[in-house]
Each structure stands twice: as structure tokens, then as C-alpha cells.
Structure 1
Amino acid sequence: MKFSKGAFFLLFTGSFFFAQQQKFTIAEAVNGLRSTLAVKNISQFSWSQDQKSFIQGTKNGYFLTDIHSLKQDTLISLHQINTSNTSENQLKSFPRINFVSNSKGYFTKDSQYFWVEKSGKDWKVKEWFTPEAEAENIQLFSNNEGFAFTVKNNLYVSKNGKVTAITTDAQETIVNGQAVHQREFGIDKGIFLAPDNSKIAFYRMDESMVKDYPIIDWSTMPASNKNIKYPMAGTPSHHVKLGIFDVKNNSKIYLNIEGDPEQYLTAVTWSPDAKTIYVAVLNRDQNEMKLNQYDASTGNLLKTIFEEKSTEYVEPQHPLTFFPNSNTDFIWQSQRTGYNHLFHYNTERGLVSQLTKGDWLVTDLLGFNEKKKEIFYASTQVSPLERHLYKINWTNFKTQRLDSEPGMHAGILSKDGTQLYDIFSNEDTPRKINIINTASDKSKNVLIAENTLKKYLRPEIKNVTLKAEDGTPLYGKIILPTEFDQNKKYPVIVYLYNGPHAQLITNSFPASGNLWYEFMAQKGYIVFTMDGRGSSNRGLKFEQAIFRNAGETEMKDQLKGVDYLKSLPYVDADRLGIHGWSYGGFMTTSFMLKYPEVFKVGVAGGPVIDWSLYEIMYTERYMDTPQTNPEGYKKANLLDKVQNLKGNLLMIHGAQDNVVVWQHSMKFLKAAVDNGVQLDYFVYPGHEHNVLGKDRVHLMQKVTDYFDEYLKE
């Protein structure tokens, strides 16, 4: 069939227009950016040992890319591994290899460790370490000559094929080698290997004084119970010690840490010479912290390096970072000035200097260039909505920004500090990756990802800046319906979190922040989201505005957003909906009960209903205890306010939630029954605090359907 040029043009442009009109399915809106719509990336990036090239994973192997020429060579392939692997250990897909150098590394398969090493042009694979079936928290010695791991509640070390029990506690309430304090304070592990592998420091947690809390597994016949230890605000907390095991002598001591047994021990850091160990000791009230140095051989306190105090709270979240080849000088990250900054300390002289300063915060410490006395970091210096990469000279404090484009940048520094891997996105850039030469400041692009959303019908997104009652700027976004008509009036969904340690609004891809927002815009909704006071990355004053009064300041700020929405001629003020999860679920429920005239529909997921039922470390930081702040807990408690509900409220909870335990919403349901109040409720069996995977599609379909039923005309 032949077409005229004009007909071909019409056909082509018509097809192009049609492609631009494609709408998201609910599955694409929920999981697409992690699956079919994932933006191209460099997989499993790491710097090579010589730092003149980088390693990246592919489906069937690893490439080695020269940073100057960008020439790629195959480092290792699946065929090479399987050639030397036994028949029973043949691999169908390529494993994730942890490279020790360009010629050796290791990987795991079915919990078994394999060593892989280059021999001539071939790669040889050999079985290396097979941990016990129940082994967890496995850590490899830095010299690759041993493993530390836990089995149930005890800690073990394996070296030269011999397994030694470091602890032998029979009581299940004594837990060794695992993360403690509900994983607050930046704690993500319980085993700390000395730099020279001569010793192992570990947490020992006694939970005997904490009451059991039931988590029911409904999938068994009959249903079975698993008790967890969940210390709630104002109740007894677990007791934590730090042990040190000498690998050579098979001897064990515990640090002589004085003070309340309910105090918190964090920022555990070995000195580079492995002779001493540092611990940030924080009182239970979380307003006084001491950074202590202990002798690793005797466990005795050597000195307190410094103290930090606050009328609200001190929150140490990072271990010490020692300067290269120094056993005395280190960087401490602190919010003492109101923003997280870098401080140079010497173990003998104390504070040497404050390295970074300003009404912005350091978000990540990347490393050093020892020869040039440079420190590399990421910060919010340009804007709270962006992250940029910097270097600072630690002697003259000369500072230089290393990237040049707007957006959210993250960096991986080479070991010698001469090359910086810069990965970023912004509202118009799905992903871009550059290699920055930190000496010449020249940048070489290695990836520009295509926009995987280009064929879809996308909404108009506007950045919004409002002001809190004290004049603080509040950043938000409004997502307009895809077939927007300013002469119509539209329903609005406000999505919020507005709690500590979270930020929703950034200059990143996609500009909306969430494809479900765009999915709802395609269905004719306006979506609005904003970070109010209490949110992260704006400094302590912004975060601590909620201190002792969770929910109050946050609602005032979100009401500024409501006022803004009502001022828009195309917003139907009688059809406002609100949705949030966790802290956002608490906020959603609070709005439906404390301001029942504002929102017609609310969907609250995993909500905190009564802060006295939430865990100690988080709750007492922001609310103090129920005993010392009864009025704050009373105002935030939603159980005695259920009778105020006027709109339609759907509450959702994971049946195995061990973060916001199921009791929160169960007690709320009981209060609703007692007061003759009707609401809607849905449970996700088998899910903990967040509903993830394929079931998340079901969750967001349910949320969508609820707004469709009660918010649309």
C-alpha cells in the first residue's frame, strides 16, 4: 500500500499523538519504576583497585570501563564461571560478585560462599564457606580470612575452618551481635570488626525486662504466635552492653560503661590501630550525650572526648570517620549548630575546627583525598530540595562545588579521592551519570538515561512555596488533571507524611514524586503534597517544631496547603481527600477527627493512634515520656476523638506489623464501636508495616477505589 507524503505525515503524527496519550495501569503506577518502567542505570558500580577504571555488572557478567577512554572490556562472564564450577553449582544467572581486586572476589549461592579468582585467562571457582543453616548477620573479615555471624541469639566466629562460639547465652532474652535500640540512632548492625581483624566488638542486649508482644501468623493451622520484644514509650527498656572478643586469645571482656542501664550506646567506632573503641553514650531522655573512648584490652574508660546537650534532644546518627593514616584526628557529624555539619576533632586536643558552616546541612560524607587534604561531602547548600557534591580543604577551608547541574546528586568517591562518580536526576532528567576528575574538575558523561515515561500522558506539575505561621517557607507540589480545564472544579487528594526523617518534595525524577499521583491525575484528580515542619533536611528548628506535641504544628502547616487549594478557582473545596501511611496515617486520622469539616474522605495506612503504644526510642525523642508529657500524649491520642468523625475513613493495617503494631487500629475500631461510629477497615495478612511487592498493587487499587466511590461526583 502506498501513501502520499501528506498522508504519511498525518499517520505518523497521529501515531505519535496516540503514544503520548497512553495512560498508566495501576500496576505501572505502583511498581513500574522498579520494573517495566525502570530508568536505565549502571548496575553494581564499584571502583577498581587501581582507581583508573570502574566495574559494572551486566546480565551475563561484569565489564571493566577505563575512565579516560571509556573503553569497555569484559572482566568476567557467566560462561567463565560455569566452566570451572562443579555441575551441581552451575549458575543460571550471574551472581553479584564482591570484588576484592580486579582478579579476585566472592559471591553467594543458596547461602554458601564461593571464592572466584583469575588464573591466566580463566577464572577459577571454589567453595569457600558454608555457614550454619540458621546463620544471620554474616560479616567477612577485611583480610578475607574469617567470618563473624549469629545463630539465633548467639555470636560465632569462623576462622581457618574452625567455628568458635563467642557467646553461649541460653536465655532467649539475651541477644548478641544484632542491631539494638529498635535500629534508631543510625544503628544497622550489631557486629563491629576491628580494622586489623584482631578483635570483634558486639552488642549484647538483655530484653528480659521488656514485656512480650504477640505477632500472630494467620497462615498456619492453627494460627501461631511469635512473641517479639517491643518496649513502648514510658515502659522499661532493654539493657545494652558492648563486648569485645579477642580473636587470637579467644578471650572476651565487656566495656565498663557507667550510667543508667537503659541508656543508649551508638556510633560504635574502632580506632584505626584497633587499640581503643569509641562509643556515643546517650541518656534515655536523649538530651545528654558523651563521646567516650575505651581501652579495647581492658574495657576501661580512657576519657570523654566531648559532650553534647540539648533542651530538646541530641540524636547521634553517624560513627566517627578518621582522617587517612591518622589514629588521633576524626570527623564528627553533629546538629549542635542547628544543622548537621562536620567537626574536626583530635583525641588529645578536642575540637580542632568546625569544617562546614551555614543554614544548610551535610547529608553524606563521601571520603578524602589525603594528598590534597580534601574532604568530600553532599549537602543541601544550594537548596533543601537538592543535593550537591563538594570538596573542602581541611586546613584552609576552601570549598568547591563539584557538580554543575540542578537536581539530587549522590556520589561515590574513589579510594584516593581523585575520581568522583556522580549520579543524579532532576525533574527533567531521569538519570545522568558523570565521572568527575576532582583535580581538574573536568566531567565525563558515562550515562544519559532515556525517559521511560515519554509515551504516557503526563500531568502538569507546579512547584508551590507557602509560608508557615512563623514565616518559614514550606515546599510542595500540585499535580493537575491531565485533561485540565480551568473552568471546571476538581476533587483533590492531599498526600502527606510530615514526620521526622522523611522528605517528600525534591527536585528529582519523576517531577511528581510518585506515579500513583499521576495515575490519579489521569483519572481527573488534583493531587497536592507538601513537607510541613517536622519533616527532614531543613534543620533542627524546622524538625523540632513538633517537640512534645506530635500532630499539632504539622496540621497547622498542612492547613496552609488547604487554604491555598481553596483559593484556586478550579478546586472543589467540598471534595477534598487525604491519604498517608505510618506517620502520614497518624496525620490523616488526626485531620479526620480534629478538623472533621475539612476532608470529605481519608485513607489512613498503618497509623499511630496512641503514641504511648509506640516504641521508646523514636517516641520519647519527639514526645518525651507519657509520665513527663501527659498533656502532649492526650492531645495526640485519637482514641477519645473517634466520635468527631464525619467523613468517610478507610483504615488499613498489615496484620504482622511490628513497627506500628496492630493494636493501634484495633483499639481505634473498638472506640468506634463503643461510640457507634462507622468507618471502613482493611487488613493485609502476611504483611508487616508496609505492603510491598505485587500486593501493593492491590493496596493502591483499594485506595483508588475508595476515593472514586466517595470523592468523585
Structure 2
Amino acid sequence: MKFSKMVVAFLVFTTSMIYAQEKQITLEEIWNGTFRQERLQSLQSLQNGIEYLVLNRDRNSGLTNLDVYKYATGEKVRTMLSSSDLEGISSFQGFELSPKEDKLLLSTNLESIYRRSSKGIYYIYDFKDKSLTQLTNKKVQEPTFSPDASKVAYVFENNIYVYDIPSGNETQVTFDGKKNETINGITDWVYEEEFAFVKAFHWDPTGEKIAYLKFDESNVPEFSMDIFGQSLYPSEYTFKYPKAGEENSKVSLHMYDVASAESEKIELGDYKDFYIPRIKWTAKPMLLSVQVINRHQNDLDLIFVDATNNSKEVVLNEQDEAYIDITDNLTFLEDNSFIWTSEKDGYNHIYLYDESGDLINQVTSGNWEVTDYYGFDKKNNRIYYQSTEDGSVNRTVYSIKPNGKGKRKLTEKTGTNSADFSADYTYFINSFTNTSTPYVFTLHRSKDGKLLREIKDNSELLKKEAAYNFSPKEISTIEVNGKDLNMWMIRPQDFDENKEYPLLMFQYSGPGSQSVSNTYFNTNDYWYQLLADEGFIIACVDGHGTGFRGADFKKVTQLELGKYEVEDQIAAAQKFGERSYIDKNRIGIWGWSYGGFMSSNCILQGNDTFAMAIAVAPVTSWRFYDSIYTERYMTTPQENPSGYDNNSPINHVEKLKGDFLLVHGGGDDNVHLQNTMRMVEALVQANKQFQWAIYPDKDHGIYGGNTRLHLYTKMTNFLRENLKEEGMQEENSNTIN
């Protein structure tokens, strides 16, 4: 009788233990949105500073509303506009308010072009008379209100047009625009990708002038891609793409006078081969600021152009032995003094200059970096910024006076804080995350950071994840090549330091990047949880060349991309292999884009260290990549041939020993499929066995439908087959047989 009770008790206990086991994460869950974090919808602060605007969509009806909310309470106070009240359009995808908030530009039928560019059909809504007017029946780019909202300028087929709202008349500003030859008012491919802007025209504050850039790309070499699609015959897509050392677009500045309907080219100076990465009107009407930087991107002039007579003056010159980063931080104060950010003291900091370009003072200083500049509050005379003052993996929000005094810390939690300020800087919405906390959104008072209310968190996501018992992401450092490098590690839930585990390393490693930060899981981290469940350890190390630890650390890779970064990853892997719980014979590495370049180099140049590598969309030779990015760090191939060739994977294929998976999207306009195809041919001619996959027509992100699920299934299977002990034993057994 007692024995029977013991058996029953044992069965009940073991059954409850089975049901108490945590759930196992699946690839389908990762890619179907199961672990998607709640985010704030994109909002726009209204000029009153106490309200903000949100575009809300009803998925069932398809209707869209522009709703107004109070910062202080989060309460919806009114609907500014509903598509149900509009005749002719049932919904809209985006909006732009006029400067005085009396009109709206509504976008419909948007069609993506490249990473940041699109074209669409636009409508003008007038709040005063509740009228809706179609801007044009053509799909146009970058429509923008004039300061008084009486006109809209836009680009169609590489030419600028101005639409007069009261009369309905359209005026063509430029006439020489032509695909793959001349572009007016928007950037060419390489400017869009590397200088991160599309609109290359700006109304002056009076509405009398439009400053714009013209790109003559007629001599830029063309690149073509086959698009397979669904038709019987594939189509060819051709566009201008200047590779390193090749001819760039010839860029010029022009000034259009609205009254006379005439344009004039502005001669900026005796510049031979240069970029104009930014133009911006100053606080003085008719005074335009223009940034001109040389092709090496280490010598920048800030020029003021007087639009009344087209005279010009260089007010600031900045030089760097390596390169200068282009930002949107330039801010003009009422007296036309200006705020500027620079790395000239070895760390990125804020500086204040007078109208003539003379330094008033350095606003911030210290062995830390300003990582985001939020703006200047003229009412309270304060500058708002984000920095690494609490450590390079963390972000904290501060305010400070332009004289460098009165600094205030506005966020208290350790992790990654970022701020979105109201138009008058009364409030800011803080988004916070760290390794144990998915995004939390809170409202704060800007003057002192006081918490006013909780807005949204991801507590439901944490409850859902509790059933999986995920392993923590542990941030620490590892001493490599004389430096303590930031790293994170994820171990199996049942980690036993007396066992040996395979290690998968992830990295990106590009100049100024950061992969080790005090943030919660991203999508790849959930994949790492799946791998950890299967007995993998995953680690990431930010080596030399990565960002937010000072200019010297970041720029040490200058002229030799792929040298010190690869040395760091190899040395880190060897250090990991010395740990008793890591099997030094089962270390793999993977990466995407620059990370694919790195993982390819590591499996080749670290062939006695890495047993396996996965490279997705890799650069395999810097000779294949675009001029602006590559030359910023390498100068040109003509000037630096050894820098280009000594560290490019395509030149080391004979060293391959381990298992290698190469993946690319067939429609990648950024890192061209050419990189992988040339790598494949080199490996074949070296008689090296490897695996590869091409995703037809997919761009650099390799997504759409089930594409990501398929890709990550392939990578997971590759890891199981080539890094797990049983997979390697089976492979060795097959080899012997």
C-alpha cells in the first residue's frame, strides 16, 4: 500500500515536472511577430508644445485619422482630420504639416525607390475652407510647403516644380533633368545611401528663393541588375553607382528666384573633387549655409552664401587626419551664432561659434561622447543632448547651457535612454531599455527630468517570455590586443561550467558602429535564445574601429579596413577557447554586410581558430563598394591598393579550411551580388568546397514573405550540422567512409 502511494506520488511529481518545463522558442515564433515589442506610434509635436499628433489607422475599415493628444495626460482631445471626411481618397499613408499648421500634405500610393526615397500621389488639405486639392496626377518626390504655405515645391522625373495653391498653376523650375544623367533637387544613389538624405532643395525663410543641388551623373559608371520577377523574361535595372576610385556625380549649388522664375549657379570656390553633404538656411533670411567637403572627407568648409547677391564666405574649416562625420546637428541661434559638433578634441562634443565662425566656447567636454543632439531651447537657454557619460554601452539624456554651465542629468535609469522633445521643449518622451527591460516609454518635464506619467511598457511581453525562461544577455569586457573590449554573452539555460559548448560569435565591426549595448533583445537575440536552448554559447565583441569610445579607438582602422577588426575577432575567439566551458575546436562566426565581410575574413585568415562561418550580403572586395563610404576610410584604390587588397576576403580564398555558408540577395542595390559571385568563382578556382544561397530579387535586407524564416532556418541547420558536436562527428564519420 505504501509502495503504491509512492509510485502514484512519483508519477504525479514527474508529470508536473514535465508540464512545468519551459517552452522552447521556434523560428516561426521569431519571425511571425510573437516577440514584437510595443512601440510608440510615430508622433509629431504641435507648435503649442502641449499637444502632439498621431496618425492612426483602422485595419478593419482602412480609414486613417490624424488624432491630437495632450502630452500631460495622454488624453485624445480631438481628431484633426479623418479620411472619412475626404472625398476622393479613402486613406493616406503619411502627412506633413505646413509651417503655420494651417494646411496638410497627404501622401498616398507611395512607392519605395531606394533605402530612404519614395514617390507618391499627394493632396493638399486646407483647414480653413476644408478643401482637398490633388497636387498633381503624377507620382512625385519630396513635396514641401513654402514658408507661408501658398506654394509647394516638388521633384518629378529629376526636375523641380513649384505649384501655386491659390491659382493652381504649376511652374517648372529646371528642365535638364534626365534619368541616369542629371538630377535636380534630390540626391543621387550614393548621396542618399551614405550622406543619409534625399531632399536636396530648401525654401528660404521668406519664400522668395529655393536653394537646390544639381547632380551631373552622366559620367558615373552604370551598374545593372537582372530582376527576375514573375514575367517570362527578366528585366534589367540600370542605375548610376560610383564604386571606389571611379568618377562621382559633379554636384553644384543653384539659387532659384521665385519672382523672376530664374535660376543661377553659385560658384563656391576652387574645389576640384568635392561633395556638398548639407545645405541649410541660417537664422538670417537670405543667408544660406553650405557644407563642402573634399573627396577624402577630411577637410570641410562651412560656407555662408548671401542669396541677395550670391556672395560667399568660408566661416569655419574643420580638418581631420582620418575623416569627418557629417551630421544634422548644425543649429543657428537668433543672433546667427551656431552650435556645431566635432571630434577635434578626441571625443565627439558640442561647440558654440559666433556668426563669423569664431569659437565662443566648447560646451561639453570629457572622455565620453555626445551621441545625439536634440536641440536648443531658446526660452530657457538650454541645449539638450544624449551621451555616454554613464559608460560607452549606456545612453543618458542631459541638458546644459551654451556657456557649458548648469549641466543637468534628465534620466536616471542605467541603460539606453533616448528622448523626443515637444516643440517648445516643455516635455520629452523618454524611451528606456536595458538588457533585462524591453522598451518603457515615459513622459518627463524637460527642465529637470521629473517623471510626469507612464505611457507604455512591455510588461505583457515579459509575461509571455516568462514561459520560455530565456537566458540573460551578460555584458562585460574581454582583454584583447591590449584593450578591454566590450562584449556580451548568452549561455544555455542549463549551463554547466564543467561541460564544453560550441561558441557562435556575432559581430558587425564597421567604423563607428556598436553591437554591444545595454539594450533588450532584438530579433537576432531571440534566434540566439533558440541556439542557446540547443546547447550553443553566443558572444559578441566590439573591437577596434567600433564607436563611442573616442576618435582614436574608432579611427585606428583608417586605410586598412579589415585588419585590426579581424585580428580582434580572432584573438577574442582564442581567448574564449581558453575557457574550460568552450570547445576551442567548435567556434564559429557570422555577420551581415560589413559583418559578412568580417566573418568571411575570419574563416580565412583565422582558419585555425574558426571552424565555421556564415556571411550574409558581404563585401568581398572594397573595390566593389561605393565611393563615399569606402573612400572615407580607405582613400581610393589608386592611392591605397594594398589597403584594398590585403584585407579583402576574395584574395584569401586558398586559406579556407572550415565550413562556409555564403548568402546574398539577387536584387541588392547596396552591396551588389557581384561581391558574392566573384567570391564564389574565386573559391571554385581554388577548389574549395562551401555552401551558398541566392535569394532572387531580394535587396540588402533579404526579407519579404517567408524569406527571413527560410534564411534563418538555413543558417540554423548549417550551425547544427557544422558546429554541434553530433553534427561534426557525423560529418567526420561520413568523411572517413
Q: What TM-score does the superposition give when structure 2 sets the normalisation length?
A: 0.87
1:75 equivalenced with 2:78 (yes/no):
yes
Aligned-partner Cα distance in 2 for 1:77–1:242: 38
Give the alignment of 1:568-579 within 5 angstroms.
Answer: 568-579=579-590
Q: How does 1:210-609 map onto structure 2 within 5 Å?
A: 210-219=220-229, 220-301=231-312, 303-318=313-328, 320-323=330-333, 325-326=334-335, 328-348=336-356, 350-395=358-403, 397-447=405-455, 448-452=457-461, 453-471=465-483, 473-510=484-521, 514-609=525-620
Counterpart check, 1:85 vs 2:86: yes
Distance 1:291 1:75, change over 3 A: same
Pair 261,102 (structure 1): closer, same or farther in 2 beyond 3 Å = closer
Q: 1:62 to 1:484 in 2, by over 3 A?
A: farther
In the other structure, the counterpart of 2:731 is: none
Residues 106 and 202 (structure 1), Cα distance of their counterparts in 2 relative to 1, 3 Å cut: closer
Number of the residue aligned with 2:40 = 42
8 A Cα contact 1:392 1:400, kept in partner = yes
Q: Aligned with 1:593: secondary structure?
A: helix
1:402 Cα deviation (Å)?
0.6
Provide the rounded CA distance (Å) in 2 between the counterparts of 1:19 and 1:697: 29
- Compute the displacement of 1:511 (Å): 8.1
Q: 1:400 to 1:188 in 2, by over 3 A?
A: farther
Q: How does 1:648-663 map to 2 (within 5 A)?
A: 648-663=659-674
Instruction: Please list the CA deviations of residues 428-474 of structure 1 after superposition, one character each: whole Å capped at 9, or x if unmatched.
Output: 22122222212354211222331513332312332220123233x21
- Note the alpha carbon deviations across 1:530-553, whole angstroms, 9 max, x for none: 111111222211111111111111
- Give the total of aligned pairs: 688
Q: Write the letter of the residue equivalent to 1:444.
A: L
Work out the CA distance in 1 between the residues paired with 2:449 and 2:381.
16
Q: Provide the residue aligned with 1:28 in structure 2.
A: 29
- When structure 1 is superposed on structure 2, of 668-677 and 136-145 the one drifting more is 136-145
Alpha-carbon deviations, 1:361-398, whole Å to 9, x = none? 21222122212211111111111111111111113522
Pair 644,203 (structure 1): closer, same or farther in 2 beyond 3 Å: same
Q: Give the whole-Å Cα distance in 2 for the aligned partners of 1:395 and 1:239.
A: 40
Tell me the distance in 1 between the aligned counterparts of 2:404 and 2:605.
54
Q: Return the letter of the residue paired with 2:159.
A: N
- Letter of the structure 1 residue corresponding to residue 445 of structure 2: N
CA displacement, residues 646-679 of structure 1 (integer Å, 9 cap, x when unaligned): 1111111111212111211111111122222222
- Contact persistence 2:183–2:215 (CA under 8 A): yes
Specify whether residues 15 and 53 from structure 1 end up closer, same or farther in structure 2 by C-alpha distance, changes over 3 A only: farther
Kept after mapping to 2: 8 A contact 1:643/1:672: yes
Contact 2:152 2:164 in 1 (8 A): yes
Question: 1:47-196 maps to which residues of 2 (within 5 A)?
Answer: 47-60=45-58, 61=65, 64-68=68-72, 70=73, 72-76=75-79, 81-82=83-84, 84-86=85-87, 89-91=89-91, 96=94, 98=96, 105-110=104-109, 111-114=120-123, 126-160=131-165, 161-169=168-176, 171-172=178-179, 173-180=181-188, 181-183=190-192, 184-196=194-206
Q: 1:361/1:653 Cα in 2 relative to 1: closer, same or farther (>3 Å)?
A: same
Greater mean alpha carbon deviation, residues 454-463 or residues 677-686:
454-463
Contact 1:179 1:188 survives alignment (8 Å): yes
Contact 1:467 1:560 in 2 (8 A): no
Equivalents in 2 of 1:16, 1:254: separation in Å?
78
Deviations 1:288-327 (A, max 9, x none): 21111112234332x111211222222333352112x33x
Alpha-carbon distance between aligned partners in 2 of 1:104 and 1:277, rounded to the nearest angstrom:
26
Deviation at 1:12, TM superposition (A): 14
Residue 579 (structure 1) shift? 0.7
Instruction: Measure the CA separation in 2 of the matches of 1:23 and 1:201.
Output: 58
> Letter of the aligned partner of 1:711 in structure 2?
L
CA distance in 2 between counterparts of 1:537 and 1:103 reads: 42
Q: Which runs of 5+ in 1 are unaligned?
A: 1-6
Task: Give the superposition deviation at 1:98.
Answer: 4.7
Residue type of the alignment partner of 2:154: F
Q: Deviations over 1:100-134 (max 9, x none)?
A: 68987453333444455778xxxx86422333433
CA contact 1:19–1:456 (8 Å) conserved in 2: no
If the length of structure 1 is used for normalisation, what is the TM-score?
A: 0.90
Question: Structure 2: which amino acid aligns with 1:73?
Answer: K
2:236 aligns to what SS in structure 1?
A: strand
Backbone CA RMSD of aligned residues? 2.8
SS of residue paired to 1:668: helix
Rounded Cα–Cα distance in structure 2 between residues aligned with 1:475 and 1:14 = 43
How far, CA to CA, are the matches of 1:478 and 1:609 in structure 2? 28
Asked if 1:206 is matched to 2:207, the reply is no
Task: Name 1:688's counterpart in structure 2.
Answer: 699
User: Structure 1 residues 466, 135: closer, same or farther in 2, change over 3 A?
Assistant: same
Deviations 1:262-312 (A, max 9, x none): 2111231112233121112111122221111112234332x1112112222
Aligned to 2:114: none
Residue 197 of structure 1 deviates from its aligned partner by 2.8
Distance in structure 2 (CA, Å) of the matches to 1:77 and 1:240: 41
Q: Deviation of residue 645 (structure 1)?
A: 0.6
Letter in 2 for 1:182: Y
What amino acid is the match of 2:146?
F
* Structure 2 SS opposite 1:559: helix
- More displaced, 533-542 or 434-443? 434-443
Q: Deviations over 1:180-201 (max 9, x none)?
A: 4433244443222323333222
Q: Aligned-pair distance for 1:17?
A: 9.0
Instruction: Give the direction of change, closer, same or farther, for the CA distance of 1:297–1:252 in structure 2 (3 Å limit).
Output: farther
1:497 shift after superposition: 0.7
Retained in 1: the 8 A contact 2:390–2:414?
Answer: no
Q: Distance in 1 between matches of 2:287 and 2:278?
A: 14
User: Are the structure 2 counterparts of residues 479 and 81 from structure 1 closer, same or farther at C-alpha, using a change threshold of 3 Å?
Assistant: same
Over residues 67-89 of structure 1, what are the superposed CA-to-partner deviations in whole Å (9 max), with x where a residue is unaligned? 44x262342298x642x333x53
Distance 1:403 1:590 in 2: 41
SS of residue paired to 1:691: coil
1:164 corresponds to which letter in structure 2?
Answer: T
Counterpart contact for 2:48–2:423, Cα < 8 Å: no
Q: What's the CA shift string for 1:545-572, capped at 9, x where partnerless?
A: 1111111111222123213321222211
| Aligned-residue identity in percent | 28
Displacement of 1:590 after TM fit? 0.6
Q: 1:288 to 1:97 in 2, by over 3 A?
A: closer
CA positional deviation for 1:422: 1.3
Mapped to 2, the partners of 1:144 and 1:22 lie a distance apart of 57
**Partner residue, 1:3:** none
CA spacing shift, 1:65–1:663, aligned 2, 3 Å: closer
| Deviation sequence 1:626-648 (CA, Å, 0-9, x none) | 22222212211333321111111
2:647 equivalent in structure 1:
636
